[in-house]
Structure 1
Amino acid sequence: MTERDRHALRRDRDTLVVGPSQARWVDGELLLDIDELTFPRPAYLRGRIRLTPRVANDQALVLDPAGRHRWCALAPCARVQVELEKPRVRWEGEGYLDTNAGDKPLEDGFSGWHWSRASDADGTTVLYDVTPRQGEAYRKTIRFDRQGAVSEAPAPASAPLPTALWGIRRRIPADAPEQARLIETLEDTPFYARSLVDTAVDGRPLRAVHESLDLNRFASAWVKPLLPFRMPRRVTRTG
């Protein structure tokens, strides 16, 4: 999460290099080699993440009425191995890979959204609760099974979750309000919260990685100056 200028960027069909770190496809696996300094507390962050897709997908979801913002779960079901040298951390489990693309800034198209992803033995469920600047708010369930089939349906009403410490309001679709339960807050910022949440949709219990994004907050004058404290900017010196 370090911003760098164009001189630090190289890319081809299978590889993206940003400064000392890179992502590359090798024999159907995505390898992420990380070599960074953390900020604002300086420390080395080095190691490799290996993502092995179980299911591939190229069907994109248009997120706004004007069609300017798109989301695609490239590997909705995947195996992930994390092996870091600094700090020394090893982990292996179910994972996921997606991509977002847009023709305008997110804050121009949306006031915010609540998103979650849960994996189980049958596949992956993604829940979207979106509030665009124009058009009606909507909730959607997207289901990816282990054979690669994709299905969409309206999601049930959203149930409130505890407000984050920075005041970000959280909610998640649930069959009944009492089935939505906050397990842990993983990241808490002035405009974004990431959490671990339990819910149930269509009678299916789900433990989900959940995010709430407040783009009104993100666009506010007091939040913009805070961004460099989490995403420092590096300039590449060229001769």
Structure 2
Amino acid sequence: MIGFIGSVFSPWYRWSGRKSPQNHVCLNVATYGTGGRFTMTDRGRAALRQSPDRLQIGPSSMHWTGRELVVEVNEISSLPLVSRVQGTITLTPAALTGVEARLTPDASHTWRPFAPIARIKVDLSQGHSWEGHGYWDANFGTAALEADFRFWTWGRFPLKDRTVCFYDATRSDGSSLALGVEVLRDGTVQEIALPPVSPFRRSLWAVRRNTRADPGFHPSQKMSLLDAPFYSRSLVETKIDGEVTTGVHEALDLVRYRQPWLKPMIAMRVPRRPGWDFKD
């Protein structure tokens, strides 16, 4: 689940010239398995309301209570399974971190891992009701992703007493980002020595993929979550400091994403709904 102000993967935002992020907002929800749905409606500025502890986007909202992040979902899923997706997601952090990382030297892109260790409770339509590991972060940017990056991968892997996150990217100028952090249950964050990069099988759309792993271990996909021509999200098994773990992994091919032919394809999954009335 992602809340966007300036919907970076919306073709409508790209076609608008990206001049007004508040006019392209959305709550993206993806569920998997039986009854899985995908929602990503690009909404106009009339649908946006913000306060220090609340983000509302049309009929859906996120609210920080001081202890929990409560997300009320009321969306319509995109083709081919068009239906209403409703319910509540509650995320309870073990602790909040106080760090952020520059993904570019000029800080045009910044990553903020609010709570890499959390519990989550999901109660959504289509039978998606469960509790388990949760994660909460944010990305901020003042430029288009495809303007500053060619490719990146990200992964979050829970270990027995901590969580590790890896960010690897090739920037448009040819320089590289290689970041590894560990987060303890009390919110302490520190950089770690990076295990080697290890490639594994490409996605169904042939997006190349790699992650970090102990020497000699070969990571593998355990479950495909989201597969697009420019993007892969999956559950991946790797080995860190002798511990085998399965975590969420993303790979993003921004050279492919910037191709004009791709935008109409994405628009089929990302409808534009500029109007909204809160009726109050």
> With structure 2 as the length reference, what TM-score do the two structures score?
0.81
* Cα shift at 1:237: 5.5
Aligned to 1:210: 249
Q: What letter corresponds to residue 95 of structure 2 in structure 1? A: V
Alpha-carbon distance, 1:96 to partner: 0.5
The residue number in structure 2 matching 1:42 is 82
In structure 2, the CA distance between the partners of 1:98 and 1:197, relative to structure 1 (3 Å rule), is: same
In structure 2, the partner of 1:130 is 169
Instruction: Find out whether 1:157 has 2:196 as its counterpart.
Output: yes
Q: Distance in 2 between matches of 1:75 and 1:232?
A: 31
Shift of 1:154: 4.0
CA separation in 1, counterparts of 2:256 and 2:49? 33
Q: Does 1:77 align with 2:117?
A: yes
| Aligned mates of 1:31, 1:173 — CA distance in 2 | 32
Partner of 1:92: 131
Cα drift, residue 79 of structure 1: 0.6
Describe the SS at the equivalent of 1:226.
Answer: helix
Name the structure with the higher strand share. Answer: 1
CA offsets 1:18-53 (integer angstroms, 9 cap, x no match)? 011011112411110001111113111000000011
CA-based RMSD of the aligned residues comes to 1.6
1:158·1:172 contact (CA, 8 Å) conserved in 2?
A: yes
Q: Deviations over 1:163-186 (max 9, x none)?
A: 111110111111135331221111
Match of 1:227 among 244, 266, 269: 266
Amino acid at match of 2:75: E
1:1-239 matched pairs, under 5 angstroms: 1-40=40-79, 41-84=81-124, 86-134=125-173, 136-236=175-275
Letter in structure 1 aligned against 2:100: A
Q: Match of 2:31?
A: none
Tell me, which stretches of 5 or more residues in structure 2 are unaligned?
1-39
* Structure 1: runs of 5 or more not aligned: none
2-side partners of 1:143 and 1:234: how far apart? 40
State the alpha-carbon separation in 1 of the partners of residues 65 and 128 from structure 2.
23
TM-score by length of 1: 0.94
Cα offset, 1:213, TM superposition? 0.3
Percentage of pairs with the same residue: 37
State the AA in 2 paired with 1:116: G
Deviation at 1:202, TM superposition (A): 2.9
Mapped partners of 2:65, 2:171: distance in 1 = 38
User: Structure 1 residue 201: deviation in Å?
Assistant: 2.5
